[in-house]
Structure formats: structure tokens, C-alpha cells
Amino acid sequence: MSLLVVELGRTEYVRAWRAMRVVHIGVSRGLIGDALILTEHEPVITIGKHGRTGNVHAWDIPVYVVERGGDATYHGPGQLIGYPVMRARWPIRAYLNMLEEAIIRALAAVGVEADRRADHRGVWSKGRKVASIGVAVESGATLHGFAVYVHGDIRDFSRVNPCGLHFSQIATLRELGYNVTMEEVKSNVVAAFSEVFGLRPMRADYEDIRAYLGVEEDRVGEPARAPRPGREGAAQSTLVQ
């Protein structure tokens, strides 16, 4: 079975979200096979559907509530974002374990010693979190996925309690002393992901997929902006589905 590898480059969050939703239509309806969307985001904060706005400390960049599990997190340049859109043929716990395993193998291939923790999802190196995971399943297909912190300013994470952690528990690979490039990590993530899931990677162009499906992006809408605490009519802390 093949894996469509779709590279979007550096994108505003809404555009990547829409691309993910378009591809999800194709996968969930059996019109295309499994896909892995890769991107880097412009600075953005996302909050999982049961997360808390109280975990956001700064509102100077867009903040969205999205379908995935987990709490608030920051994304920005220097993070490899992966959105696997796949037919959901594994129990969710097994699927999450496989995502972690793929990231651990990919990092090992570039000399990074990484592992998982029983008490917290994601991938860790030298006692700090270097990759986060948050997923959703709709209509029999997965959404959202993972972020690998390759480089960038770690102080950007101070805008949030990332996934309920203090931002000091987060680290980029560069900060930990690993001299790896985004392209190296990306290449090895594709290889390891394909190996773990037993798929054959093949490059695909997003616009070709969208044209084949005949789906206009405005049809899928856009993610919801988070209500800022303290504003009239806004939720004060807790976000619910």
C-alpha cells in the first residue's frame, strides 16, 4: 500500500488545516489512499477540543480551537508538522504508540537519543519533550498528528503551558546540542513513518489531489478562533466540545 507524501512548505495555520480537511474527505470516502501532510506553520497556538484557554498566556498570535485531543500548544517556524490522514484501522492507543515509534526511529537515524514516557504522550530526549502528538478520528479516518521541535526560539513556548507542561520542559533538538537540519529530520520521518505503518511513500502534489477530488477549500470552512478569557461572552477558562 502506498502513502501519499504531501509537502506544503511553510504555511499559515488555516491553509494547512483546510488542506488536511480536503485530504480527509478523499481518504474517508475511499477516493485516495493514506496520506502524510508535512508543513511548518507560521506562529500559531492551537487548543484541543477539551483544552483550557487558561493554558494560553499570550494572545499576540492567532489562537484556534481544533478537533484533536490534548491541550494548548505553540507551533511556529522550526517545527516539522506532520498530519497523517489515514484510514483508522488500529485502536487509538496502538495508533498513538506507532506515531511515537516512528518519530523515535526517525530521530535515532540522525543521532538523537529519544524515547517515550508512560505518563505523558510525545517523544522525549535528555529529559525534555522534543515532539508532541495530538490526533482525532472522524468518519473512519485520522486527523492532526505530530510536531517535531527541530530548531527555533524556545521562548516562543512561554505563550502557553504546552500540553499542560511548563514551557521549560520543552526543547528543540538544536537546543539539546543535536546539529540536525529540517530536511534531514523530514526525510527520516517519512522513511520511519512508512516503515512503522508498512507503507510505500510516494510524493504527491496537494493541488493535484484537491483538483482530483473536486473540492473547493471554502467548502471545508476554517478552524474556530478561541474565545479570549475575560472578554464579554467568552468562556473564562474551560473549552468544551
232 falls within a domain:
no
Give the pLDDT of residue 61: 97
Alpha carbon separation from 42 to 10, 15, 39, 203 (Å, rounded): 7, 11, 10, 23
pLDDT at 230: 67
Residue where the block lists cell 471545508: 220
Task: Tell me whether residue 177 is in a domain.
Answer: yes
Give how far Cα 196 sits from Cα of 33, 86, 91, 165, 208, Å. 17, 14, 15, 28, 27
pLDDT at 166: 79
236 domain-assigned: no
Answer whether residue 123 is part of any domain: yes
Q: What is the CATH number of the domain that holds 42?
A: 3.30.930.10
Q: What pLDDT does 234 receive?
A: 42
Inside any domain, residue 184: yes
State residue 119's pLDDT score.
87
For 146-186, what is each residue's pLDDT tens digit? 999 999 998 999 999 887 777 788 999 999 999 999 999 99
Q: What is the pLDDT of residue 231?
A: 53
Q: Is 139 a catalytic residue?
A: no
Q: How many domains, the chain?
A: 1
- Domain for residue 238, yes or no? no
Domain, as residue range, for 53: 2-216
- What distance in Å separates the CA atoms of residue 15 and residue 100, rounded to the nearest whole number? 26
Q: Which of 163, 185, 189, 239 is catalytic?
A: 163
Residues of the chain with pLDDT under 50: 232-241
pLDDT of residue 163: 72
Residue 233: what pLDDT? 39
Which pTM value belongs to this model? 0.93
Query: What confidence score (pLDDT) does residue 241 get?
Result: 35
